[in-house]
Every structure is written in C-alpha cells, then in structure tokens.
Amino acid sequence: MPQTNLITQIHTPHKAVAFTFDDGPHPTYTPMLLDIFREAQGKATFYMIGEQIEQFPELATAVYEQGHEIGNHTYSHPFLTELSDEACREELIRAEKLIEAITGTIPATFRPPYFNIDERVTAIAAELGYVKIAGAANGEARDWEQPGVQHIVDATRESLSSGSLLIFHDGYGDRSQTIEAVRILVSELTAEGYKLVTVSELIALADEAETSGR
C-alpha cells in the first residue's frame, strides 16, 4: 500500500526553503505576497483551491506568470478521507484541469486540505500522478488560527532548516498576520543567504545532490 507520509523536509545541502500558501488565490492577500517575493527575487508555491481559481482566474495567471508554482489543493477544500473514491478523485481532477488551463501543465504536487489523508486517498492521488504530497515543517505556526505575527514568526524559525517546506495561508478570512509574518521571515532568510524556491525546485535540488553523490 502507498505510504501516507507527507513531505515536510527535503534533504539538500543547498541553503534553500520553500514557502507555500494555501487556499487562494485571494484578491487582497495574494497580490501582497507577489510583491514581497518580487522584491526578494524569490519564488513560492501556491496550493490553490479550484473554486478560488474560478473566481479569480486573472490572479492565478499572474501567480504563474511571475514564476511561482501552482499546486493542487482540491476543488472545494473537503475532508478527503470522508469522500467516496469517485468524489475524492473528482476533487483532484477538477482542480487539476483548472490549473492546467492556466499553466499548460499538470501540477506536480498536491496538499490535502487539513492534512487529512489516509492510505486510500494516497492511492487515489498516486493513480493521478501525485507521488509527492506536501506537508509542512512549521505546522506549529498555525497561521490559519491568527495566533499573532510574533507566534507565526517564532514557531517558523524554530522549525526551519535548509530544505524546509513552510505553510502559510493567503485565502479564507483575515490573513494580515500572515502577510506581516511572511514579510519578516522573507527579509530575515534572504539576509541569511537562503534561496526562496518552489516545492518542485526544492525537490530538484535534492535529486541533483543525490545524483552527484553530495
């Protein structure tokens, strides 16, 4: 049976991390993030919900055109383990088609809403080509609960190292705390020499290191 382990850390000798943003695109917060990453000359991965892409297709296109990655976060953000096989598959496929229409390619990874996944859902995802399922190293930051900018920053710092996948949210509710926390973290990490890359780029760096025997 497929394993249900989520990727939280990529083993790489490179000083690089992947910022990821769930539940967008959002007309207020996604553009703010694009500005932050443009100024830092970094890239991020946006795990978008299909329903949000349908509402804001131009924004999803802007994310892609600025060099960021779009990952699959399902069509309507359900608890996948509570769905039938057919409904689960449909959630992934509907979102995938919307992303493919914008990017011209099928998304490389997906993140299950609420990190809700089991062996059955993993098997369905694998059938569709999703063998890399994104988790997060900084889950304790819990930015979705709006715990305060300092908490988000501190909890992320504590869990961060080269190769970390970091989760934040640009959709659903007030994300102003997240924006400020990300602004601080991006500034700190770039000053420390970290490269801000997409999830696929981070995986590629690890593959490259493995191939070269480093």
Instruction: Please give the structure tokens belonging to residue 173.
Output: 């509710």
Q: Is 151 a catalytic residue?
A: no
Return d(Cα 133, Cα 112) in angstroms, integer: 8
Return d(Cα 200, Cα 202) in angstroms, integer: 5
Instruction: Please give the structure tokens belonging to residue 112.
Output: 């299950």
Assign 3-state DSSP to the chain and report helix, strand, coil percentages, each to 5.
50, 15, 35
Q: Is 22 a catalytic residue?
A: yes
Closest CA to 99 of 64, 66, 134: 64
Q: At what angle do helices 85-103 and 57-65 cross, to 10 degrees?
A: 60
* Among 22, 23, 143, 170, the one annotated catalytic: 22
Return d(Cα 155, Cα 193) in angstroms, integer: 20
Check residue 133 and give left, alpha or beta (phi > 0: left; psi -120 to 50: alpha): beta
Return d(Cα 50, Cα 75) in angstroms, integer: 4
The HSE-up count of residue 95 (CA atoms within 13 Å, CB side) is 33
* Among 26, 73, 169, 170, the one annotated catalytic: 169
Residues catalogued as catalytic: 22, 169
